[in-house]
A and B are shown apart, each in its own frame.
Chain A
Amino acid sequence: MKAQYKWLPWLFLTPALIIALVFTIGPFLNTIVLSFTNSTTLGGGTFNGIQNYLDLANSPQFWISTRNTLLYVAVVVPLLMVLPLLLAVLVERNIPLIGFFRSVFYSPVVASMVVVGLIWSWLLSSDGAVNGLLEALHIIQKPLPFLTDTTLLLLSCMLVTVWKGLGYYMVIYLAALGNVPKELHEAAQVDGAGSGRRLWSITLPGVRPTMLLVGLLGSIAAMKVFAEIFVISSGTAGPGGQARSLVYTIREVGLGLSGEIGYASAMSLALFILTIGFSILYLRSQRTDQLR
């Protein structure tokens, strides 16, 4: 193989590089610059220092969005770290029809969040199936306002996110379970360990790195929540927009008719710092893992 190439690699790389530079690197640098200006969608805009960041700090809307987004991560991520693992353990054994179940459990992953959101907003409406079921079981007396109460709306969106993500993380866990040595399970079984005990003492330590990875992927995904909230609340983010997420607010203030581009850019960078923060936490935890 030739040791050094001159122009050929660039010929091959140019199309991908142009897309990456024009639609990712450029906009990212531009976002940083714009965040220090008072630009609007109408154009213009001048340097205004850290004014946007000061405005953010004083904006209740920003803090509600951030609080909701972090709340989202706090509820969704632990559920997505645990439930898909249990699901993977359930479908791991090769028993008849298991391939069918595995693929069917993956189908919510494939469907668009818009479709999933519309289906669930119907199921969760006041005359929907969920309220009907709860009433039939005499758990509640009158329908719960899943779609019109801010807290219940957020909770509903979180559950829909988890529902849609189960199959995806199940497949990641399935790959990890395949790497847990079968001999360990057999030895433990001989020693009289029940399935619960084996799940706790063998499977769980075996998939620990994967759990952390799922935690990271889940966190990054949850930080970017938009479609669930937009679709399930019919574009309102609940009463008074109180169920808004960061991305919801970024789109609203940055891309409206008189979009405040500078301000939205500052908010976008706040979102970026949060997501990077989670990645750093993940890398840290991995390092301590290796030290053990």
Chain B
Amino acid sequence: MARPIQARTPARTHRRRGATKRKTVEYTIRYALLMFVFVLLVGPFIWQFGTSLKGAGESIYTANPFPASPTLANYGMVADTIPVFRYLGNSLVVATSSAILNCVLASLAGYVLARMRFRGRTLVDLVFLATIIIPFEVIMVSVFLTSRSLGLVDSLLGVILPTAVTGLSILIMRTAFMALPREIEEAAMIDGASDWQRFIRVALPSVQGSLVVVAIFAFVFAWDDFLWPLVILKDSANFTLTVGIQYLSGTFTSNQRVVAAGTMIAVIPLLVLFFSLQRWFFRGVGEGGLKG
């Protein structure tokens, strides 16, 4: 195919070949850079994973992160040292509850703010805006006092409730409801649907995408959170995974293999969740009102 073209317009082909060459160079540079960043960002996880699989006889200080004879013994030792399945369960309860509560409470509040006019609205707007502006770290000591007077110290409910709805979740749901055409709900109203029916049957099913985004972000935030569980949980039986893994590293600084296995137990379920739902994550970052 190249030959007849070359015969007709040699100069042009020359230019095209130059462009192809430039393209090859550009691609090579791009993929080299991508691989470099890949090693930089994923390497540490792979290294840790490799360490977690190394047996007692294998050096963990050598440059080779991959074990010669992989073993799951370190994972067994995590379970012997701390009640890791209990912690896993605690984290699952906390993260799932936070996800569900955020979806329910934020869609109720978001729908009102997107669709209804009522007295006191400005005040409600201000309250939710304040929850976005006030960092949790600033009020942490006070929230602890509140939780203590409510008898929530050392309970999973105490971990869950302060994160049960965030200003950001409400903002995402409100934006989603505002984007829905009003005509659909008006048609439902003419058909005699009550406010509640319009919310449940018409509006809510149309914002499923945003609900997924709110659920995922609440879940991951609750699963990863460290400071608040560290503050509110006292008895080691009630720890969530992040607090438990930190505790494990405190008691086992000498055995890096076991700590590595512990971190893998905390991160692998989440990475699996992330890779199966990744497109929602990218939407989520966009929908957090962060488009500038």
Q: Which residues of A contact B (CB under 8 A)?
A: 1, 3-6, 8-10, 12-13, 15-17, 19-28, 30-31, 34, 87, 90-91, 93, 95, 101-108, 110-116, 118-120, 122-123, 127, 129, 132-133, 136, 163, 166-168, 171-172, 175-176, 209-210, 213, 217, 220, 223-224, 226-227, 230-231, 234-235, 247, 250-251, 254-255, 259, 261, 264-265, 268-269, 271-272, 275-276, 279
**Chain A CB within 10 Å, residue with most, of B33, B227, B243:** B227
A73 to B91, CA, bound (A): 31
A119 to B47, CA, bound (A): 9
Is the CB–CB distance between A17 and B41 below 8 Å?
no
If A31-B139, A105-B41 touch, does A251 touch B274 (CB 8 Å cutoff)?
A: no
Instruction: Point out the residues of chain B lying under 8 angstroms from A103, CB to CB.
Output: 274-275, 278
Please give the distance in Å from B217's CB to the nearest CB on chain A: 10
Please give the distance in Å from B259's CB to the nearest CB on chain A: 6
Is the CB–CB distance between A227 and B27 below 8 Å?
no
Dominant secondary structure of chain B at its interface with chain A: helix
Instruction: Give the contacting residue for B117; candidates A4, A27, A102, A254; CB below 8 A.
Output: A4
Is the CB–CB distance between B139 and A268 below 8 Å?
yes
Known contacts A23-B162, A106-B274, A272-B135; 17 additional CB pairs below 8 A are A1-B186, A9-B118, A15-B108, A19-B105, A21-B127, A30-B142, A105-B37, A114-B242, A118-B259, A119-B44, A122-B260, A123-B44, A171-B282, A235-B250, A264-B141, A271-B138, A272-B138
A220 to B290, CA, bound (A): 14
Tally of contact residues, B, Cβ under 8 A: 92
If A13-B124, A119-B47 touch, does A247 touch B134 (CB 8 Å cutoff)?
A: no
Instruction: Point out the residues of chain B lying under 8 angstroms from A13, CB to CB.
Output: 108-109, 112, 124
Please give the distance in Å from B240's CB to the nearest CB on chain A: 10
Is the CB–CB distance between B146 and A234 below 8 Å?
no
A167 to B111, CA, bound (A): 32
Is the CB–CB distance between B246 and A231 below 8 Å?
yes
Instruction: Point out the residues of chain A lying under 8 angstroms from B111, CB to CB.
Output: 12
Instruction: Point out the residues of chain A lying under 8 angstroms from B100, CB to CB.
Output: none
Please give the distance in Å from B115's CB to the nearest CB on chain A: 7
Q: Which B-chain residue is minimally distant from A166 (CB atoms)?
A: B41
Is the CB–CB distance between A119 and B63 below 8 Å?
no
Please give the distance in Å from A290's CB to the nearest CB on chain B: 13
Instruction: Give the contacting residue for A136; candidates B48, B63, B245; CB below 8 A.
Output: B63
Is the CB–CB distance between A28 and B139 below 8 Å?
yes
Dominant secondary structure of chain A at its interface with chain B: helix
Instruction: Give the contacting residue for B285; candidates A91, A115, A172; CB below 8 A.
Output: A172
Q: Which B-chain residue is minimally distant from A87 (CB atoms)?
A: B37
Instruction: Point out the residues of chain B lying under 8 angstroms from A91, CB to CB.
Output: 34
Is the CB–CB distance between B130 and A24 below 8 Å?
yes
Is the CB–CB distance between B133 and A261 below 8 Å?
no
Within 8 A of A (CB), among B82-133: 104-106, 108-109, 111-112, 115-118, 121, 124, 127-128, 130-131, 133
Instruction: Give the contacting residue for B141; candidates A12, A24, A268, A275; CB below 8 A.
Output: A268
Instruction: Point out the residues of chain A lying under 8 angstroms from B253, CB to CB.
Output: 234
Is the CB–CB distance between A175 and B137 below 8 Å?
no
Closest 8 CB pairs of A and B: A27-B142, A112-B224, A16-B109, A254-B141, A27-B139, A23-B162, A114-B242, A12-B108
Instruction: Give the contacting residue for B143; candidates A23, A107, A132; CB below 8 A.
Output: A23
Is the CB–CB distance between B109 and A24 below 8 Å?
no
Instruction: Point out the residues of chain B lying under 8 angstroms from A118, CB to CB.
Output: 245-246, 249, 259, 262-263
Is the CB–CB distance between A247 and B131 below 8 Å?
no
Is the CB–CB distance between B142 and A34 below 8 Å?
yes
Is the CB–CB distance between A110 and B271 below 8 Å?
yes
Instruction: Give the contacting residue for A107; candidates B42, B164, B224; CB below 8 A.
Output: B42
Instruction: Point out the residues of chain B lying under 8 angstroms from A25, CB to CB.
Output: 127, 130-131
Instruction: Point out the residues of chain B lying under 8 angstroms from A22, CB to CB.
Output: 146
Is the CB–CB distance between B231 and A251 below 8 Å?
yes
Instruction: Point out the residues of chain A lying under 8 angstroms from B242, CB to CB.
Output: 112, 114-115
Instruction: Give the contacting residue for A114; candidates B141, B146, B245; CB below 8 A.
Output: B245
A8 to B196, CA, bound (A): 9
Q: Which A-chain residue is minimally distant from B182 (CB atoms)?
A: A1
A133 to B161, CA, bound (A): 45
Instruction: Give the contacting residue for A3; candidates B51, B117, B142; CB below 8 A.
Output: B117
Instruction: Point out the residues of chain A lying under 8 angstroms from B260, CB to CB.
Output: 122
Q: Which B-chain residue is minimally distant from A24 (CB atoms)?
A: B131
Please give the distance in Å from B81's CB to the nearest CB on chain A: 15
Is the CB–CB distance between A20 and B112 below 8 Å?
no
A42 to B73, CA, bound (A): 45
What sequence of 0s and 1s flags, for each residue 66-78 of chain B, a beta carbon within 8 Å of any chain A beta carbon?
A: 0000000000000
If A106-B278, A112-B223 touch, does A132 touch B263 (CB 8 Å cutoff)?
A: no
A117 to B99, CA, bound (A): 25
Instruction: Point out the residues of chain A lying under 8 angstroms from B263, CB to CB.
Output: 114-115, 118-119
A224 to B48, CA, bound (A): 27
